[in-house]
Structure 1
């Protein structure tokens, strides 16, 4: 039972990290795009 909980927690952590990385990438591209020649 505990192993399943740890597995779900790890999957959630990976998913959250991926989502945050995607969000920051989109924001960075949005901010940097107008400054590009």
Structure 2
């Protein structure tokens, strides 16, 4: 039961981390596209 709680805590933390890093990934991806297209 305790393990399940830790798992959910880990999942929510991971999703919040993804939400934090997603704009950075998109920005990097757009920069790569700009560099490759030019």
Aligned residue pairs total 30
Q: Which runs of 4+ in 1 moved over 4 A?
A: none
User: 5+ unaligned residues in a row in structure 2: which ranges?
Assistant: 31-38
User: 5+ unaligned residues in a row in structure 1: which ranges?
Assistant: 1-6
Question: Over aligned residue pairs, what C-alpha RMSD do you find?
Answer: 1.2
TM-score by length of 2: 0.59
